[in-house]
Amino acid sequence: MIPMFIIKYLMIGFVWLLIVDLYMAFGQMNNSARIRYLLLWPFTLGAFIFGVIQAIINDQNQDNYE
């Protein structure tokens, strides 16, 4: 029997893979990139969230100077 945490890990990775493949890469990824997004989703999701937060902070800082 497969432990539940592995199933949850792969389910979250699969959802993140679908989001990236369909909305960000427009279905143009190869299979090796898909496997990386599926198995290493904590790193790619974390980098995405960090980039969004950094862009919001930079946008707010630019608005303060204008």
Per-residue pLDDT, 66? 58
Distance, CA of 54 to CA of 28 (rounded, Å): 27
Q: What is the DSSP letter of 28?
A: -
Q: Domain of residue 14: give its range.
A: 4-65
- Number of structural domains (the chain) is 1
Query: Who's near 38: CB < 8 A, 6+ residues apart?
Result: 10, 13, 14, 16, 17
pTM above the 0.75 mark? no
Distance, CA of 19 to CA of 15 (rounded, Å): 6
pLDDT interval class at 1 (50, 70, 90): confident
Per-residue pLDDT, 46? 93
pLDDT digits over 6-65, tens only? 999 999 999 998 988 888 888 788 899 889 889 999 999 999 999 999 999 988 887 666
Within its chain, how far is the Cα of 18 from the centroid?
Answer: 10
